[in-house]
Structure 1
């Protein structure tokens, strides 16, 4: 695949302190200047970050030319609450969503799911489409020369992404079950997939091909995070449950300097992303950790930044992992 045809996008999380909130606009501006397909903003379970998520989304809408993507979860929401939240995002101008089931709160009693009225992300996908259809049932245009309006045959649609799991969802029993779940999300109206973190290109490439063979028609973007410290790698493994990428872990552990670890992480992510694109991935989704430097360095090295070629750094720093 030519890098010039690949899409890329970024993910942010709502700031958790006043200092982080003050620093985030500059990061957003730097990310937006790279002209990503979209910038997604995470959303805490049970609405724990609703206000701050919406603030970040509004900043992206009002101060950049980039389309923002809002995360929505099923956990703990009634139909009425979810309906209100979706309408609030739509009224703010959001037209892209990532619909996920979400993790139940830690205090959920044994045997309970922690979910509200919405039992799956497929139901959430359907609800987003339904709210948009009710909110804007059709479009109108003025008819020249007369005091009337013509009804358009189509209405504005939204993009709804869903999560994909190259190495299986924790509650899944097989790859075929994960793919069946993707097919159900597609039937509900999902039109993009974004993977959870993984550390071996073959995991994504095999999963994406099996999904395509089964009838999943929407593109699936691999999610990548440059791992710029040993501590961050440990945290990522705790959150994702993925197997340890041993070579990367060893390199990070034996490198004594922060700058050295940062370069190892960028070089590793560059090679990782390039192998995915070479294998047929339609693009990459970069988890930024609310920092722009590492992800932009990866994009520069693989030639995805506007005006970038192959990138001198990309030709000198790529290694095989």
Structure 2
């Protein structure tokens, strides 16, 4: 019997960039699926730089597991026609969950140079996803049971899940928490039905933000995003990318520990304690950044008391996810931060 997490847990992966990484990622997906996550999300590079491999990973999740695959989409560099075509491609592949992001400027872009394209905000992208799905699955007439030749309008469509970003410690371009919450309300009005937070290191930052969001009228679940920090180098990179304040206690522990294994244990314990505190404080669930390997995040769940395994692999096997031919990522790669509206 399959037992789902209560509360739900989800993971984030990024597309593989070599044969070896692709082979390893298939095994990682299978192991993550065994703990019955609510969904597994797959990042999508700026300007479609990982379009094919992202879709291949999503298809692998769809066809090899019982887990819902969530595709990332951004507003970067796309016309309405291009964005609509891409959304339709994801939907036609069977992907019905999305993380809609405004997106960050590509590296090397000159100051003030435009990079977004026709869509200027995550809210506009949310609306476009709903519109494409509505056009793709139009209303249909169906027979009326027991009434010969009678027809009725079928108004039910398959609904899509659309997540957006939230920022417990503020978006870099925001002037206040109130502005961040107003932006979240606008995303809700556009049709978003889930939020995943930017990284943070203290439970009260998340819990306070959620309380303020609820009081302002945000109704959908807000998942806390947790990234196990297993080395001083990774911590420095995370802070550089996200602008988060230095968690001094964690930073000191990582710096004084001389061994990589010891640093890894410190990072896992910190993330596990944070996860347990968040759940105790009423968090709807947990979203874990997996760095394309399963062992660390599964240990976080085990140490936080949330690990329940169940067989979720489908019996039909297909080739491992396709990949781009170059640019093997560094072992300690940090997923792209969600510093965007």
The reply to whether TM is greater than 0.5 is yes
Higher mean alpha-carbon deviation, 75-84 vs 149-158, is at 149-158
SS in 1 for 2:299: helix
Give how far 1:289 is off.
0.6
TM-score after normalising by structure 2: 0.86
Give how far 1:70 is off.
0.2
Match of 1:155 among 153, 157, 173: 157
SS in 1 for 2:71: strand
Match of 1:243 among 222, 232, 245: 245
Give how far 1:142 is off.
5.8
Give how far 1:272 is off.
0.5
Q: 8 Å contact 1:139–1:155 — kept in the other structure? A: no
Cα distance in 2 between the residues matched to 1:269 and 1:86: 34
Give how far 1:240 is off.
1.1
Question: What does residue 116 of structure 2 align with?
Answer: 115
- The superposition leaves residues 172-211 of structure 1 with CA deviations (integer Å, 9 ceiling, x where unpaired) of 1111110000000000000000001111111111111111
Question: What does residue 59 of structure 2 align with?
Answer: 58
Give how far 1:253 is off.
1.2
CA RMSD of aligned residues (A): 1.8
Cα distance in 2 between the residues matched to 1:189 and 1:53: 24
Higher mean alpha-carbon deviation, 166-175 vs 118-127, is at 166-175
Cα distance in 1 between the residues matched to 2:275 and 2:96: 27
Question: What does residue 102 of structure 1 align with?
Answer: 103
Greater relative contact order (Cα < 8 A, sep 6+)? 2
Long gaps (5+) in structure 1: 309-321
TM-score after normalising by structure 1: 0.91
SS in 2 for 1:5: coil
Long gaps (5+) in structure 2: 311-341
SS in 2 for 1:272: helix
Cα distance in 1 between the residues matched to 2:258 and 2:113: 45
Give how far 1:159 is off.
0.4
- The superposition leaves residues 59-99 of structure 1 with CA deviations (integer Å, 9 ceiling, x where unpaired) of 00010110000000001111000000000000000000000
Question: What does residue 135 of structure 2 align with?
Answer: 134
Give how far 1:7 is off.
1.1
Cα distance in 1 between the residues matched to 2:295 and 2:257: 20
Cα distance in 2 between the residues matched to 1:77 and 1:30: 35
Cα distance in 1 between the residues matched to 2:42 and 2:297: 16
Match of 1:264 among 259, 263, 266: 266
Question: What does residue 313 of structure 1 align with?
Answer: none
Structure showing the higher helix proportion among its residues: 1
Superposition map of 1:170-181 within 5 A:
170-181=172-183
Match of 2:202 among 184, 200, 203: 200
Higher mean alpha-carbon deviation, 230-239 vs 125-134, is at 230-239
Question: What does residue 17 of structure 1 align with?
Answer: 18
Cα distance in 2 between the residues matched to 1:25 and 1:147: 50
Q: 8 Å contact 2:9–2:37 — kept in the other structure? A: yes
Q: 8 Å contact 1:101–1:121 — kept in the other structure? A: yes
Give how far 1:256 is off.
1.4
Give how far 1:257 is off.
1.5
- The superposition leaves residues 7-36 of structure 1 with CA deviations (integer Å, 9 ceiling, x where unpaired) of 110000111222111110000000001000
* Runs of 4+ with deviation above 3 angstroms: 139-151
